[in-house]
Structure 1
Amino acid sequence: MGGNNYIEGVSVPSVSGFFEKYGLALVMVASYFGSGSVFIASSAGVRYGYTLLWAVVGAVLLGFLAQDMSARLGIHGESLATFAREKLGSTLATAIMVVLSVGCVAWTLELTAAVGKGIVVLLGLQGVGWQPFAYLTGLAAIVVGVLGYDMVERIMVAMMFVLLAAYLVVAGASSPDLAAAATGFVPSLGPTGSMALAVSILGTTALWPNFFLESELVDRKGWTTRADVPTMRRDLGIGYAVGGITTVAIVVVAAAVLRPAGYEQLQTFITPGRALAEILGDWAMVVFLAGTLAAAFNSIVPIMWAPAYMISNALGGAFAGNDRVFKVIYVGGVALGSLSPLVHRYLGLSVIDMILLFPAYNGVVGLPVTAILLFWAVNDGDVMGEHTNGWKLNVLNSALILLAVYSAWSAGQTVIEAILSGGL
């Protein structure tokens, strides 16, 4: 079967043809585009209007460059976890991967809680509580995650395009000030406090599990030589364009509708949906919240794929590439991530606490370690050969490391204390 259809002599790529070449970047984008990203983007629009749209563009570029380095590592060398094992030894590499995987479980905890809470609000089931739906969300993620890469890729791609369409519809209905929005793409320091939110936008887009996943999954797309790099970069361009435009649409909705209505800050990730219902009608709330739920669920599978690849490759030997080991780690990780109701009960963390604190924990712990490891890998001549980073890419990679270290230094103690003391 060919990958193209022909209409009056013109070759038109078919759906199967698209997936033969592209789709991996949209899986990466789906992993970072969760409830936390929607909340942060909405908060940016509510608090600062259009002024932080430039940060969305910067985040897209940073994410593209980080994933490009990860992909080139996989194409010219090996996966990032395998690199860690070869340089650090299996025992130390495995210990690091297990510590990092705790962050992935934490992410899954907030995502299952977010989906559960969103379902309750969307269906008007407040009397039931969100906890049973959190467990069911984890079960659904287990089923989807073991379907195999090709099927999951198709699901993730379809859902990302649906999200793009949904948020664009709401953004269009909000009648934004296009001239004011255009000025927001010009970088500026903005009001006091806006830079912290700009860093949050950058941090949520440079998702560290993706550094491991991209280097691992390029082989699934058949990208194994230098000739495949242009295709890989086109794929990244498609994926991050979809993610970036979707994020811009969310900021625009918040700036055009919620801010003029008097909202100064958001209490929960559900607040934008409820506010939109008051101003644009119930349909806007349904579309916005359904999109948020889809985004949160979308994130679970690729985020929890990461530990399954990381740990098995760090162990090496018969564990690396073993499908049974991969599934056991994945199912176990998602099962732990489904226990968000227990975290709520025994640690006293609300759903919004989890949405804010667990991604922050990953920024404090996971991002610095992974960014340094990736920098080391793409500059290792034994692994990359003649394809090591040039000085321009090293400058950009250094910026990612500085961002990660700054985030860890500035927020580390606060984040850990908040998690252990019952929330914000």
Structure 2
Amino acid sequence: MKNWLKNIGPGVLISAAFIGPGTVTVCTLAGVNFGYALLWALLLSVIACIILQEMAARLGIISQKGLSECIRQELKNPLGRTLALILIFSAIVIGNAAYEAGNITGAVLGITAIVEPSSLEIGSFSLNLYSLLVGLVAFTLLAVGSYKILERVFIGLVAFMSISFLITAVLVKPNFGEIMSGLFLPSTGAAGMLTVIAIVGTTVVPYNLFLHASLVGEKWKQPGDLKIARKELFFAIALGGLVSMAIVIVAAASSLSQVETAADLAVGLEPLFGTYATWFIALGLMAAGITSSITAPLAAAYVVKGCLGWKEGMNSLKFKSVWAGILILGVIFSSLQIKPVEIIKFAQVANGLLLPVIAIFLFWIVNKASIMGESRNTTLQNVLGLVIISISILLGARSIYTVWEQL
């Protein structure tokens, strides 16, 4: 058990990153609006997440470099390299700012379920004080700069959230036949396409590919460690997927017709927590929001570090300035007068649309013999990777078409 706990790390960070307010909100919306019908999208997302994150982990351990650093080094053409890095830089920084706003908003959604909202008027701009508070907490944890401290916090929160939702999913006594049908018989109309892409975006988070490649290189130094990293990753992502499915099942079994507040999210948990369900979801959203608020800025900093070729680590001023900037943008966007659930869902859809771009770059790099050597993708891994990229492109195109039709 001691050795098993010692090897827990980056995979749990990735799992904790996608079990955030976005997952709770999007999976609840999926269950409320479509019952068990979109479980197939979640199953597909979990499988895709395992395959892509394994590629990122393998890249990090074998090369001992981050994904953006490898891309910068392998693109020999100056113009092509500049354009590619600008694309990645823009996608991750803008995407992470939106995602960070969703994380902070989710934490604030939890806080305001048990206390009155509070804001500070600065001219014509209204700053949500709880958004600022969450940002300060995330800033403090990041400023500590200790991977071990962050790791322990994440492990505890993931375990707590997982057990609660899994127990509740059993207590509501769902229809097993309908669950199997939802898992293995894909079906959705145009109305559910944005929810499908949001499910993909909240599970296969693009910035996690950069974060994972960087973190495994800090924890494991030898190619032989890849076996341990794979086991840890599979366990953590599979557990995260089960939790996400449990949230959908709980929501489908509830009497909700719409989701706008934390109190709405809490209805499905009443079989386990009774009248304290609102308190639980409030604390759960707050904790999940803070954990995800840490990983998004951290990933953005690693991306910028690799794109610009910085040699300094987490404690350098340049590295800290990047994650601080993402945090500030997240606080500002979170303070806009937009419904919290809409901000959170928008962030997940944005992630889903960004995924194909980042996945293509990752796929290209893990097939480079100059970086991966004998550990480059096998034929099976290439087939699976191409299927995932193709599906993500089709889903993204379909969701854009759906939005265009609604204009």
AA aligned opposite 2:86: A
Instruction: Indicate which of 14, 33, 36 corresponds to 1:50.
Output: 36
**Partners of 1:91 and 1:315 within 8 A in 2:** no
Provide the rounded CA distance (Å) in 2 between the counterparts of 1:287 and 1:359: 23
Where does 1:295-374 land on structure 2 (aligned, <5 Å)? 295-318=288-311, 323-344=316-337, 349-364=338-353, 366-374=354-362
Provide the rounded CA distance (Å) in 2 between the counterparts of 1:284 and 1:193: 33
Secondary structure of 2:173's partner? coil
1:388 CA drift (Å) = 1.6
1:68 CA drift (Å) = 0.4
Provide the rounded CA distance (Å) in 1 between the counterparts of 2:156 and 2:181: 32
Residue by residue, what CA displacement relative to the aligned partner does 1:131-173 show, whole Å, maximum 9, x if unpaired? 2111100110111123321111111111100101221233343
**Partners of 1:109 and 1:338 within 8 A in 2:** yes
Pair 1:134 & 2:131 matched: yes
Pair 1:388 & 2:376 matched: yes
Equivalent residue number for residue 219 of structure 2? 221
Q: Relative to 1, partners in 2 of residues 1:27 and 1:214: Cα closer, same or farther, differing over 3 Å? A: same
Q: Relative to 1, partners in 2 of residues 1:194 and 1:181: Cα closer, same or farther, differing over 3 Å? A: farther
Equivalent residue number for residue 169 of structure 2? 171
1:191 CA drift (Å) = 5.2
**Partners of 1:304 and 1:330 within 8 A in 2:** yes
Moved more, 189-198 or 157-166: 189-198
Equivalent residue number for residue 84 of structure 1? 71
Provide the rounded CA distance (Å) in 2 between the counterparts of 1:24 and 1:367: 20
Instruction: Indicate which of 246, 251, 254 corresponds to 1:249.
Output: 246
**Partners of 1:50 and 1:255 within 8 A in 2:** yes
Provide the rounded CA distance (Å) in 1 between the counterparts of 2:31 and 2:321: 41
Residue by residue, what CA displacement relative to the aligned partner does 1:252-311 show, whole Å, maximum 9, x if unpaired? 21122x1xx3x3443456522146559973222322332233222221111111111111
How many residue pairs match? The answer is: 393
Residue by residue, what CA displacement relative to the aligned partner does 1:52-104 show, whole Å, maximum 9, x if unpaired? 33433322211111100111111222321111211335754553343021110
Equivalent residue number for residue 123 of structure 2? none
Equivalent residue number for residue 4 of structure 1? none
Provide the rounded CA distance (Å) in 1 between the counterparts of 2:119 and 2:266: 20
Provide the rounded CA distance (Å) in 2 between the counterparts of 1:120 and 1:96: 37
Q: Relative to 1, partners in 2 of residues 1:414 and 1:105: Cα closer, same or farther, differing over 3 Å? A: farther
Equivalent residue number for residue 9 of structure 1? none
Equivalent residue number for residue 89 of structure 2? 98
Secondary structure of 1:281's partner? helix
Secondary structure of 1:146's partner? helix
Moved more, 317-326 or 93-102: 317-326
Provide the rounded CA distance (Å) in 2 between the counterparts of 1:170 and 1:327: 40
Q: Relative to 1, partners in 2 of residues 1:401 and 1:47: Cα closer, same or farther, differing over 3 Å? A: same
Provide the rounded CA distance (Å) in 1 between the counterparts of 2:208 and 2:104: 20
**Partners of 1:54 and 1:184 within 8 A in 2:** yes
**Partners of 2:104 and 2:134 within 8 A in 1:** yes
Residue by residue, what CA displacement relative to the aligned partner does 1:17-64 show, whole Å, maximum 9, x if unpaired? 444312211100111222221122112222333343343332221111
**Partners of 1:32 and 1:205 within 8 A in 2:** yes
**Partners of 1:72 and 1:215 within 8 A in 2:** yes
1:415 CA drift (Å) = 7.0
Moved more, 307-316 or 193-202: 193-202
Q: Relative to 1, partners in 2 of residues 1:68 and 1:109: Cα closer, same or farther, differing over 3 Å? A: same
Equivalent residue number for residue 144 of structure 1? 141
Provide the rounded CA distance (Å) in 2 between the counterparts of 1:362 and 1:231: 29
Pair 1:125 & 2:113 matched: no
Q: Percent identical across equivalent pairs?
A: 28
Q: Relative to 1, partners in 2 of residues 1:161 and 1:83: Cα closer, same or farther, differing over 3 Å? A: same
Q: TM-score when scaled to structure 2?
A: 0.86
Provide the rounded CA distance (Å) in 2 between the counterparts of 1:373 and 1:222: 23
**Partners of 1:134 and 1:340 within 8 A in 2:** no
AA aligned opposite 1:119: I
Provide the rounded CA distance (Å) in 2 between the counterparts of 1:315 and 1:324: 14
Greater RCO between the two (CA within 8 Å, min separation 6)?
Answer: 2
**Partners of 2:42 and 2:245 within 8 A in 1:** yes
Instruction: Indicate which of 175, 200, 203 corresponds to 1:202.
Output: 200
Where does 1:143-162 land on structure 2 (aligned, <5 Å)? 143-147=140-144, 148-162=146-160
Provide the rounded CA distance (Å) in 2 between the counterparts of 1:330 and 1:135: 15
Provide the rounded CA distance (Å) in 1 between the counterparts of 2:404 and 2:329: 20
Structure 2 gap ranges (5+): 121-126
**Partners of 1:70 and 1:215 within 8 A in 2:** yes
Where does 1:285-296 land on structure 2 (aligned, <5 Å)? 285-296=278-289
